[in-house]
Amino acid sequence: MTRTRYILVGLLTILSLGCPARSIFPLFEEKDLVFNPTLIGTWVNARQETMTFERAGETRAYNVTLRDPKGDTARYRVEWGQIGKIWFLDSYPMLREEGAGHILPVHMFHKVWVRGDTLELASLEGDWLGAMADSNKLTIPYVRREGEVILTASTKELQTFLFGCAEHPKAFGKPGQYVRSK
C-alpha cells in the first residue's frame, strides 16, 4: 500500500469519529500514562471497521491497527490517561515507511468510555476550536494553517484546557461506538 493510501485510511477512520483537532505536543507525560488491559483486543463498529489494541512492548502505551472492510490498514501509537474524572486517548500515526521522515506525527485527542464490551470515542473537534479561535476565546497557543487550527500548547497547557472544556457540548463530536469482537 502506498504511503498516501496508508495515511488516508487512517485519517478516514479517525474522521468518521468527527473532524478531529490536531496538536504538535502530546496530551500526557510518561508519568500520566495508565495501562488498561481492558482495551487489548479487537473492536468493530457498524461499518465493519476494526480497531485492534496491542500492548506496545513493556510500556504503558498501545499499538493500534485500524482496518477497513477492504483490508486497508493504518497503525497508531495510543496512550491512555485521565484528566479529572474523564479518560482520554492520545493517538498519533506510526510512520515507519522509508521516506516518511518528513511527515510530522500530530496528536489527536479523544474522550473514551469503556462499558463492558463497548468502546466509545469522541474526538476533540477541530471546527469547534476554529470557532473558539475566531471569537478570540481560544486561550492556549495555536497556529492556523490553511484555515485549520493546530494546537501548539505544551502538555501541561493541553491538560488544563481539556479539563476546562471536556464537558462543553460542542468540544467533542458524537462518540463512535465499537464492540469487542475477540
Over residues 131-139, the mean pLDDT reads: 96
Domain containing 87: what range?
A: 3-180
pLDDT at 127: 95
Structural domain count of the chain: 1
Tell me how crowded residue 161 is: count the other CB atoms within 10 A of its CB. Answer: 20
Q: Which residue has the higher pLDDT, 9 or 144?
A: 144
C-alpha separations of 96 from 101, 104, 160, 166 in Å: 8, 12, 32, 33
Cα distance between residue 27 and residue 151, in whole Å? 11
Nearest CA-CA partner of 110 in 166, 150, 36, 67: 166
Over residues 95-115, the mean pLDDT reads: 79
pLDDT beyond 90 at 45: yes
Cα distance between residue 85 and residue 64, in whole Å? 24
Strand partners, 119: 114, 178
